[in-house]
């Protein structure tokens, strides 16, 4: 018999650009270490500019395509879940990726690595801003306030288009904005969002929630413990704050409540924190908006604005502790709910009232942010036609030409300084 030639083994095909693995390439759960997760998250925290939507793009490239810690379908499910929860969605996604990779220590490591760089920068800016004075510094501060006008305008426009696609939700948003402009304050904000949920239940029953299968299992007992902690702190902190309303517990109460009520993105934290801190005398309008403007140029989550607020509100020599308290308190509710939702999502998603209520709350959130755009952001920052032109130019750069926010920060600050120098 003739011997047969051995078949030449063909090399494996090259992966096309954007390859993210086969459907059955599911990574093993808890196959890494917390130190590994922290290192990857820290790199993201140093380089992730551009806000939460951009962050999610960086996360997909890093966690799915480069490290393959989870599949594309699992990552998409996490993003969809976190966008339906109150809290900072990009930080919640990173937290759950860390949970998927290295358990609860990995979840904490992912949050800490992503948050630390911008938190330290915000804290350093709080110390610097309180020590540097003069005409040039005033111009820098004013430029940061103009940045806030441009960024919040772009957030209202983008959120309005995505969260208010029909007449029912547009009406809910407009009513929320009018009520808050007539009578603002934290209590009215909460009432408006509750009313938005009721309006959504009545008017938006056709909305559907996306299907989602959690990539990591959280025991139901653990999930209910997380929910109990969430509501326990939500009720206990206001009571404890009565004993020390202007102390660190009072600040923790304000930050925790804001973090628990932020639906729709990090920019919504602006009116919640402003109405709790500025009227109460914790911080001035100018100081508040200066920090918010500076936060637009930082990598990482916008919620690190809380570290700045903790530092500027703190008594002498207590700024590090207050910054940490404010920072942890504002992130904690969203992270607790993200962990619980990994287990309880199936039950919540099948509740018939859930989609409409969520749609109404999100529409009300657009109204809350729109009211904040006028007061305090516009009324505090815009002093004349020149300021309005700079702010509108910043908005157009963000919305139409997709210029990175850090460049808009530079434009507004440089223009403000130039106007001040030229008189």
Cβ 269 vs Cβ 155: under 8 Å:
no
Indicate if the pLDDT at residue 3 is higher than 80. Answer: no
Q: What is the pLDDT at residue 335?
A: 97
Which residues are within 8 A (CB) of 40 and not within 5 positions of it... i.e. 6 or more apart? 62, 63, 67, 113
Alpha carbon of residue 238 to chain centroid: 23
23 pLDDT band, cuts 50/70/90, is very low
| Greater model confidence, 265 or 377 | 377
| Sign of the torsion formed by the C-alpha atoms of 256, 257, 258 and 264 | positive
Residue in the block written with tokens 């808009």: 408
Mapping DSSP to helix (H, G, I), strand (E, B) and coil, where does residue 169 land? Answer: helix
Distance between CA atoms of residues 416 and 145, nearest Å: 10
Q: Which structure tokens are listed for 410?
A: 């530079």
Chain mean pLDDT for the chain: 88
What is the mean predicted confidence (pLDDT) over 387-404? Answer: 93
**Pseudo-torsion of CA 362, 365, 369, 371, nearest 10°?**
130
Cβ 395 vs Cβ 405: under 8 Å:
no
Q: Which of 27-41, 144-158, 232-246, 284-298 has the lowest mean pLDDT?
A: 27-41
The full set of domain ranges for the chain reads 34-108, 118-422
Cβ 366 vs Cβ 264: under 8 Å:
yes
Q: How many CA atoms lie within 13 A of 34 on its CB side?
A: 9
Q: Name the helix (H) or strand (E) containing 73.
A: helix 72-83
Q: What is the pLDDT at residue 211?
A: 66
Mapping DSSP to helix (H, G, I), strand (E, B) and coil, where does residue 208 land? Answer: coil
27-82 pLDDT per residue, tens:
556 688 999 999 999 999 998 887 787 788 889 989 999 999 988 878 877 887 88
Centre a 10 Å sphere on the Cβ of residue 245 and count the other Cβ atoms it contains. 13
Give burial (CB, 10 Å; 0-12/13-18/19+) of 91.
buried
17 pLDDT band, cuts 50/70/90, is very low
**Pseudo-torsion of CA 357, 363, 369, 373, nearest 10°?**
-160
Cβ 47 vs Cβ 58: under 8 Å:
yes
Phi, psi of 131 (to 5 degrees): -110, -20
DSSP letters of 307-320? HHHHHHHSPTT-HH
Distance between CA atoms of residues 82 and 171, nearest Å: 25
Helices (H), 350-404: 354-372, 379-381, 385-399
Q: What is the pLDDT at residue 241?
A: 95
What is the mean predicted confidence (pLDDT) over 275-282? Answer: 93
Residue in the block written with tokens 């602006």: 270
Distance between CA atoms of residues 293 and 138, nearest Å: 14
Length of the chain: 423
């Amino acid at each position: 018999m003739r011997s047969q030639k051995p078949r030449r083994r063909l090399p494996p095909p090259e992966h096309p650009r954007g390859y993210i693995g086969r459907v059955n390439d599911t990574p093993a759960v808890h196959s890494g270490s917390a130190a590994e997760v922290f290192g990857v998250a820290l790199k993201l925290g140093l380089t992730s500019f551009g806000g939460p939507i951009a962050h999610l793009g960086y996360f997909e490239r890093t966690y799915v395509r480069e490290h393959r810690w989870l599949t594309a379908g699992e990552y998409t499910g996490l993003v969809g879940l976190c966008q339906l929860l109150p809290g900072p969605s990009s930080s919640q996604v990173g937290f759950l990726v860390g949970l998927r990779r290295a358990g609860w220590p990995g979840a904490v490591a992912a949050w800490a690595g992503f948050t630390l760089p911008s938190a330290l920068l915000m804290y350093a800016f709080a110390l610097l801003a309180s020590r540097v004075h003069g005409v040039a510094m005033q111009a820098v501060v004013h430029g940061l306030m103009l940045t806030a006008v441009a960024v919040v305008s772009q957030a209202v426009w983008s959120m309005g288009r995505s969260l208010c696609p029909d007449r029912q939700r547009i009406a809910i948003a407009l009513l929320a904005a009018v009520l808050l402009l007539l009578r603002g304050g934290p209590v009215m904000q909460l009432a408006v969002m509750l009313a938005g949920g009721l309006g959504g239940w009545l008017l938006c029953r056709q909305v559907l929630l996306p299907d989602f299968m959690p990539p990591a299992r959280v025991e139901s007992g653990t999930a209910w413990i997380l929910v109990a902690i969430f509501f326990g702190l939500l009720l206990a902190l206001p009571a404890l704050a009565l004993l020390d309303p202007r102390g660190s517990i009072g600040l923790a109460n304000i930050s925790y409540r804001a973090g628990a009520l932020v639906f729709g993105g990090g920019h919504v934290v602006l009116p919640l924190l402003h109405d709790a801190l500025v009227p109460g005398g914790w911080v001035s309008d100018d100081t508040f908006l200066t920090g918010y403007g500076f936060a637009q140029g930082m990598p990482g989550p916008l919620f690190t604005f809380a570290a700045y607020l903790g530092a500027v509100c703190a008594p002498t020599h207590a700024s590090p502790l207050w910054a940490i308290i404010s920072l942890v308190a504002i992130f904690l509710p969203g992270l607790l709910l993200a962990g619980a939702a990994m287990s309880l999502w199936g039950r919540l998603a099948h509740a018939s009232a859930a989609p409409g209520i969520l749609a109404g709350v999100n529409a009300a959130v657009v109204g809350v942010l729109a009211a904040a755009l006028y007061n305090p952001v516009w009324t505090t920052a815009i002093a004349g036609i020149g300021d309005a032109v700079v702010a509108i130019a910043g908005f157009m750069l963000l919305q139409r030409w997709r210029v990175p926010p850090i460049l808009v920060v530079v434009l507004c600050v440089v223009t403000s300084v130039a106007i001040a120098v030229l008189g």
